[in-house]
Amino acid sequence: MTTVFVLNGPNLNLLGRREPQVYGSTTLQDIEKLVREKAEALGTSVTFRQSNHEGHLVDWIQEAGAQGAGIVINAGAYTHTSIALRDAISGSGAPTVEIHISNVHAREGFRHRSLIAPVSVGVICGFGPQSYVLGLEAVHQVMAERARQAKSSQH
């Protein structure tokens, strides 16, 4: 069974209360429920976590890589500042999809630059909570394709 870590960075625990005009009224628990429903439909196991601490995210990225899992990450503000997350993603070997609830390119200029996008297989933003579901589908597809390629190269 495919495993995907869905990792959430700083302030995402405040979803539903924080800037609802930007992020909506959906809570992180609501998003987790959506993700788990989609994962079940895909036959994928999900590990869903949130931390306001960069080091926890680094540890979880490394854990995902060691387990051969994929990653969907909403790194929040760390997207734009964290070389540590970038290096963890790069070093883990885990296929990673960066996601955001809001369209970061329609917001403040400092949000337009991602340090983790260059080491991710793709970026999804601006679809609200559905960004998580799209990210899960995308990383699942990437992992399935990699598994098919590995299997065909063995024959």
Angle at 125 between CA 114 and CA 54, to 5 degrees: 45
Which pLDDT score, from 0 to 100, does residue 105 have? Answer: 73
Which pLDDT score, from 0 to 100, does residue 132 have? Answer: 98
Candidates 53, 78, 100, 155; catalytic one = 100
Using pLDDT thresholds of 50, 70 and 90, give the confidence band for residue 22: low
Active site residue 100: yes
Query: Which pair of structure tokens corresponds to residue 86?
Result: 């970038």
Whether 94 contacts 65, CB under 8 Å: yes
Rounded to a whole number of angstroms, the distance between the first and last alpha carbons of the chain is 22
Which pLDDT score, from 0 to 100, does residue 39 have? Answer: 98
Fold classification of 2-154 (topology level): Rossmann fold (3.40.50)
Assign residue 93 a region: left if phi > 0, alpha if psi is -120 to 50, beta otherwise?
Answer: left
Which pLDDT score, from 0 to 100, does residue 104 have? Answer: 78
Strand order in the sheet with 96-100: 44-50, 2-8, 70-74, 96-100, 122-125
**pLDDT (tens digit per residue) in 38-71:** 999 999 999 999 999 999 999 999 999 999 999 9
Active site residue 78: no
Whether 136 contacts 48, CB under 8 Å: no
Annotated binding site for substrate: 74, 80, 87, 101-102, 111
Annotated binding site: 74, 80, 87, 101-102, 111
Indicate the domain borders of the chain: 2-154
Whether 78 contacts 104, CB under 8 Å: no
In this prediction the pTM is 0.93
